[in-house]
Amino acid sequence: MVWRHEKARQRIKKLISEAPEIEVGRFADEYMPLYEARRAELDAKKERISPPLFDLSKGNAVLVETVQIYIGITNYDEYRIDEEQETVASHERALRFLHLYYSICDRVVEQSKAQRVDFHGSRMHAVVLDRAGAGVTQENIAEAFAFIRDFQAVAKQANRELANSEFTAHFRIGVDVGPCVAINNGTGLEQEPMFLGSSANHAAKLAEGDEPGVYLSDRVRALLNLPEIGAFEGAQSLSEGIFSQVLARSDQGALMRLGSPEHSQSPEELIGSWKDEIKTKKFPDPTIPRFAFHHKEPPLSQIKYAELAPSNSIRMPLISIFADLSGFTAFIDNAIRSDKIADAVRALYVIREEFQNVVEDDFDGRKVRLIGDCIHALLAKGSSTETNELHSVRQSFLCAGGLRSSFEICQDEMANLTSLGLSIGIEYGQTPISRIGIRGERSVRIASSVATATSEKMQKECRENEIKFGPNAMEIMPTELNDLTDDNGVAPTVMYDDVSTSLSNEPIASPMYARVQAPAASTIPRAHFKKI
């Protein structure tokens, strides 16, 4: 199948007509009483309940005050790249590295006041919720700091005792506070809990960079009576002394150990019980999985994440696409202020559903995950043994044009979206795909490579409504598409028809580095408060 204007418009109209009416609730006094009642019921049956806000139905949005925590691993490329090359061995080492740290994060979260939201490559997202409904306090920040401290302590000890010091990690941690809208876009093994709002966005930005440390927003600093320091560029790592002082301000003894008093463990005790589980084979050793890779014959839309595991992982050259709504943070913050959360969430559901339709139905790609207002997707053209790089780049340009054109239709069909734009980053390269971390529904889909990192970087460098290609994709770019991009790989305001017209002018040509005629490619063508 291919993207068609009228087909997309009818599809979007259908999504709008079928989109649920969003019921917005306040976390402390509306959501939590239902959650606690459900938890008591399941506890009596000895059944497990998901963490708060983890599996909201699509008709629910919850307004909650939060402490947002992002943990970035600054030395990840030391494991992903070997002598400036990505190899089978380096990709296996990188995934083993992340497999350990994802498991560590979830082990600590299970006994913490924090909750894990998601993992994205070498970046982890966690949140502490204001459960009292009185706004974020110094105590909430101390709970976040306790999680950060315990995560770092367990990480250090797990690397030493479980991995024989093979996987030393350095962390850059961003922290911000503020109201967010919690929603969920996933089902089953593809749960996608999300927190929409500037505090999540700011914490993520503070975690970007090469220097390890804990970086606080001015909003956090103000709550702690620390001097404000201004923009992200002026961010300074918090001193160990102040970090310890914040923890000491809380008189909750449980904060000096992991989690709540009823199942408190020190890092040493946690590692000890973890080692016992490994010894008795109750839990697999996270340091020894050997990743078995295979090439996945396109279309990638046929990837079933539930079937992936370290022993059944994909590794192949492919296209990575990041498509992000520019201006969305201000859009959702304004919706919170003006009591229009339901309208904003409903519009976001429609836009993201259409983005996934474009990627998977029109271009046979596969969504990896939705990251707030951004979709990360993969696609490839080729055979059972190899990827056709030329046709893959061609397809990615058409897909980007389809995303841009579908977004324009969304703006036509829904009100109050004129402040939003769409920026898209694209790159080509060898990429492993797997599921790692704690087994079961908490294991994590991952596609992580230089290509995925570069495509995200290209997206972030875009101005509103630009498409930007990475260096590998530009080197492969068909000659008939050259006029649509500048020397920096930027294609401003390009729509699907622009790409399609350029490709229809002549048979597909060879890439820039080898002017040999290539064969023409065939056209290849998703209520109310849940009673929890």
The tens digit of pLDDT for each residue in 226-275 reads 998 876 666 789 888 889 888 886 644 343 444 444 556 788 888 998 89
Instruction: Answer whether residue 284 shows pLDDT above 80.
Output: no
8 Å CB contact between 135 and 177: no
- CATH topology agreement for domains 5-13+291-504 and 49-279: yes
pLDDT reported for residue 473:
98
Residue 185 carries which side chain, given as an amino acid letter?
N
Residue 345 carries which side chain, given as an amino acid letter?
V
pLDDT reported for residue 259:
44
- 139 vs 526: which has the higher pLDDT: 139
Mean pLDDT of 497-518: 62
Residue 505: which of 472, 487, 482, 476 has the closest Cα?
482
Residue 45 burial (C-beta neighbours within 10 Å; 0-12, 13-18, 19+): exposed
Instruction: Answer whether residue 300 shows pLDDT above 90.
Output: yes
Tens of pLDDT along 1-40? 699 999 999 999 999 999 999 999 999 999 999 999 999 9
Mean pLDDT of 122-132: 95
- Give the integer Cα–Cα distance in Å for 80 and 454: 14
User: How many percent of the chain have pLDDT more than 90?
Assistant: 74
* CA distances, 155 to each of 103, 131, 193, 282, 467 (Å): 10, 28, 25, 21, 38
Confidence band for 439, pLDDT divided at 50, 70 and 90:
low
| pLDDT, mean over the chain | 89
pLDDT reported for residue 191:
64
Tens of pLDDT along 406-418? 999 999 999 999 9
- Give the integer Cα–Cα distance in Å for 197 and 179: 7
Ramachandran bin of 165, using left for φ above 0, alpha for ψ from -120 to 50, beta for the remaining angles: left
H/E element, 116: strand 114-120
Mean pLDDT of 316-330: 96
Report the alpha-carbon angle 202-490-86, nearest 5: 75
Does the domain at residues 49-279 carry the CATH identifier 3.30.360.10?
A: no
Determine the length of the chain. Answer: 532
The fold of the 5-13+291-504 domain, in CATH, is Alpha-Beta Plaits (3.30.70)
Q: Where are the domains of the chain?
A: 5-13+291-504, 49-279
pLDDT reported for residue 263:
54
- pTM given for the model: 0.90
- Give the integer Cα–Cα distance in Å for 11 and 309: 34
Tens of pLDDT along 128-145? 999 999 999 999 999 999
pLDDT reported for residue 229:
85
- Give the integer Cα–Cα distance in Å for 152 and 509: 52
Tens of pLDDT along 332-350? 999 999 999 999 999 999 9
**In which residue are the tokens 């997206």 written?**
459
* CA distances, 229 to each of 226, 238, 245 (Å): 9, 12, 19
Token pair belonging to 354:
């259409």
Confidence band for 168, pLDDT divided at 50, 70 and 90:
very high
Q: Which residues contact 85 (CB under 8 A, 6 or more apart)?
A: none
